[in-house]
Amino acid sequence: MPNQSFESRKIVILAIVISIGIIFSLRLLFVQVLSPKWNEESLKISETKRIIEPERGLIFDRNGKLLAANKTIYELRLTPSKIQEFDTTELCNLILITKDSLKTKLKELKRYRRLQQVLVKTIPEQNVAKFTSLMYKYPGFAMVEKSIRTYPGHAAAHLLGYVREVDGEIVKKKPYYRGGDRIGISGLEKFYEDDLRGSRGKNQFLRDAFGNLKQLTESDTAKSGNNLMSSIDLVLQKYGEQLMQNKIGCVVAIEPSTGEILSMVSAPSFDPNLLSGDTMSKNWNRLYRNDSLKPLFNRALLSRYSPGSIFKMVQGLSSWELGIIDKTTKIQCDKGLVGCHNHNPVQGLPDAIKVSCNPYFYETFKRMSTMNEGKDMHEKSRKGLAIWNEYVTSFGLGMNLNIDFPGYSIGNIPSPATYDKMYKNNMRWNFRTCNSLAIGQGEMLVTPYQMANLACIIANRGYFYFPHFIKSIKGSTLDNLYQSKQYTKIGSEKFELIADAMQQVVEGAGGTASRARIEGIELCGKTGTVENSRGKDHSVFIAFAPKHNPKIAIAVYIENAGFGGTWAAPVASLMIEKYLNDSISNPAKEKRIIDANLIP
């Protein structure tokens, strides 16, 4: 009897458990399958994350004029699996492509059935509003807002650089970036990428059964990139590009008291907007592959040239500091030693600089090379050249000047090791091997920005600041590196005499840069005419002004243009006058330069 009672209770409990299981199963069936209300509610718990791209930081010139800005465009994307029948004629008219092009693109994209793909990178601006009102007719299509770079000043292409979408290699090396992101590829856009790019944000939403966003569950605001105030003067930059049209070469202008670069012109130049938007790839190929003048090449920062006679000031100052000569030392202009143009007898170092006497500086180099003890001329010359190199590099020549720019040349100032390498197998060399260095020729190579920095050193009477392109960064600080004075090995008192000599180069009788004169401005300059084994000599000029409390120092280098006083000097003087006076007093000089075509 007790066993029978236990079995009965067991059956009842089992029946209750089974009943409860059936009830729950039916309820789940109703909730998940039969009831549309609960089907929709279940979909509400699916979350969608939307990435918010930041606005790229702006770049301004030193006076607040926009150099680099952002422009909103709209891409047309599609998801092939969601496309339905649509009016192809209307769509082609809206996005300005032919039916054949549309057909080809759709065929290419169909293999990505469930992935959203870009059909057109930029919907024509005039059709955006109309297309927005017609989007309901194009299921599977989506307009996506994008931001691209634009350059309102239409200038300073080599300085600013350009931005493009990242590729697989960049994404692999820099995990921050995702497909579709844009990144600075060259110039300031690249060097200051971390400041300019900002940081992306995200919004987390709940989505309903129809795919509609219903509720914001989490928000992380995107932070725009930092704005940069550059040191460039846009008016001066555009004027320099105008003067250098139809010429090959460059101009670099610097504010001596800060090291801030006021203008950097590389000629030929181009509109930076050519490397922005849909036609970027096409334009890049044209500029890089199909233009023999290589307009993409930044001559101001990458070219390595012989400095020519502008180097004579470094040679003279170093010789004077070492006691080899003094300011009154006279040396005969012996054309049997090296060629020289006709001029009056040299009365001392300032006069030698004014008339640019080659034999004078050849002799100073010989004395410097042979002033040390040694068992023979080779040993003496090795010691002398080592000292020469030490003094020359203190002027920033052949040295890294820490420019805030991605990639630049530092030139080459020869040392004893240079000639040891050239003359192997116990071949011995001496000062005669390399005495062309005295007048800025031979194995010496410097860059145009180093030439402009040399003008700064003389303007400052013996020191310089590392040249740089940025005055300030919003939300950040400029590197202290650019606020420290860098001194040469020359006593500051000696530079006043050199400044006097440079003024005489422009204003004195027999000076080589009379075309650089500016009424009312004391301009100090030095010409250079650089030998060119491949053609006509290069025209070079460095200068600063005013003589006291200088505001601008400049270097101009024009390839295949001949004597430095003929072309480079007037370009520099026009730039200086434009910057200091905002006007030109000699329109005929300006017209001559603008109209000149010096491309061989």
d(CA 463, CA 388): 18
E strand intervals along 79-158: 117-120, 141-150
**CA separation, residue 420 to residues 94, 174, 229, 426 (Å):** 70, 43, 47, 9
Range of lowest pLDDT (33-37, 68-72, 91-95, 273-277): 33-37
Tokens (6 digits) for 264: 């950097």
**Model pLDDT for residues 364-412, shown as the tens digit of each residue:** 999 999 888 878 898 999 999 999 999 999 999 999 999 999 999 999 9
| Average pLDDT of the chain, as a whole number | 88
Tell me: pLDDT of 209 over 70. no
Q: Which residue has the higher pLDDT, 549 or 47?
A: 549
Q: What is the DSSP letter of 412?
A: B
- The band of 212, judged by pLDDT with boundaries at 50, 70 and 90, is low
- Give the closest residue to 70 by CA, choosing from 5, 130, 152, 149: 149
Query: What pLDDT shows up at residue 132?
Result: 83
- Taken in order 560, 566, 569, 571, is the CA torsion positive or negative? negative
User: What are the pLDDT digits (tens) for 515-537?
Assistant: 999 999 999 999 999 988 888 99
Q: Which residue did the predictor score with more confidence, 8 or 290?
A: 290
Residue type (1 letter), 304: R
For the cut 90, the answer to whether the pLDDT of residue 46 exceeds it is: no
Task: Give the pLDDT confidence of 415-427 residue by residue, as tens digits.
Answer: 999 999 999 877 7
pLDDT in tens, 309-368: 999 999 999 999 999 999 999 999 988 888 888 888 999 999 999 999 999 999 999 999
**Banded pLDDT at 90 (limits 50, 70, 90):** confident
| Domains in the chain: ranges and CATH | 45-65+153-230 (3.90.1310.10), 73-146 (3.30.1390), 233-269+454-600 (3.40.710.10), 308-396+412-445 (no CATH)
| Category of 357 on φ-ψ map: left (φ > 0), alpha (ψ -120 to 50) or beta | beta
37 sits in which H/E element: helix 36-44
- Cα 113 to Cα 95, 104, 106, 141, 460, distances in angstroms: 22, 16, 11, 13, 67
Would you state the pLDDT for residue 460?
98
**Token pair listed for 362:** 């050849």
For the packed helices 587-595 and 568-581, what is the interaxial angle rounded to 10 degrees?
Answer: 130
Is the CB of residue 83 less than 8 Å from the CB of residue 107? Answer: no
pLDDT for residue 206: 57
pTM equals 0.85
Tokens 């704005």 correspond to what residue?
A: 227
CA 506 to chain centre: 33
| Burial (CB count <10 Å: 0-12, 13-18, 19+), residue 551 | middle
Query: What pLDDT score was predicted for residue 24?
Result: 67
Alpha-carbon span 466 to 261, nearest angstrom = 10
pLDDT (average), residues 463-472:
97
Kindly report the CA angle at 182 between 177 and 183, in degrees rounded to 5? 80
Local confidence band at 38 (pLDDT 50, 70, 90 cut-offs): very low
Q: Is the pLDDT of residue 8 over 90?
A: no
Residue 254 and residue 261: Cα distance in Å, rounded?
4
Are the CB atoms for 278 and 148 separated by under 8 Å? no
Q: Which of 1-5, 177-181, 573-577 tops mean pLDDT?
A: 573-577
The answer to whether 121 touches 75, Cβ cutoff 8 Å, is yes
Could you tell me how many helices (H) and strands (E) the chain has, helices first?
21, 18
Residue with tokens 């009016």: 87
Q: If pLDDT is split at 50, 70 and 90, which confidence band does 210 have?
A: very low
As a whole number, mean pLDDT of residues 213-235 equals 80
* Phi-psi domain of 246 (left: phi exceeds 0; alpha: psi -120 through 50; beta: other): left
Per-residue pLDDT reduced to its tens digit, 263-311: 999 999 999 999 987 788 889 899 988 888 999 999 999 999 999 999 9
CA-CA distance, 561 to 537, in Å (whole number)? 6
Contacts of 68 (CB under 8 A, 6+ apart): 58, 59, 149, 150, 151, 160, 188, 189
Helix residue ranges, H only, 267-371: 280-289, 299-302, 312-321, 349-355, 358-369
Label the pairing between strands 59-60 and 228-230. Answer: parallel
For residue 213, give the 3-state DSSP assignment.
strand
Q: Compute how many other C-beta atoms are within 10 angstroms of the C-beta atom of residue 313.
A: 27
Which of the pair, 39 or 575, is modelled with greater confidence?
A: 575
34 pLDDT above the threshold of 60: no
Is residue 207 within 8 Å of residue 214, measured between CB atoms? Answer: yes
C-beta of residue 324 within 8 angstroms of C-beta of residue 367: yes
Q: Computed from CA positions of residues 289, 291, 296, 301, in that sequence, does the dihedral angle turn out positive or negative?
A: positive
Q: Of 276 and 46, which is predicted with more confidence? A: 276
The strand pairing partners of 486, in sequence order, are: 464
In the chain, the N- to C-terminal Cα span, in Å, equals 123
Instruction: With CA atoms as reference, report the closest residue to 236 among 546, 578, 541.
Output: 578
> What is the Cα–Cα distance from 593 to 590, expressed in whole angstroms?
5
Q: What is the pLDDT of residues 476-495, one digit of tens each?
A: 878 899 999 999 999 999 99
Both tokens of 399, joined, read: 């040295």
Query: Binning pLDDT at 50, 70 and 90, where does residue 216 land?
Result: low
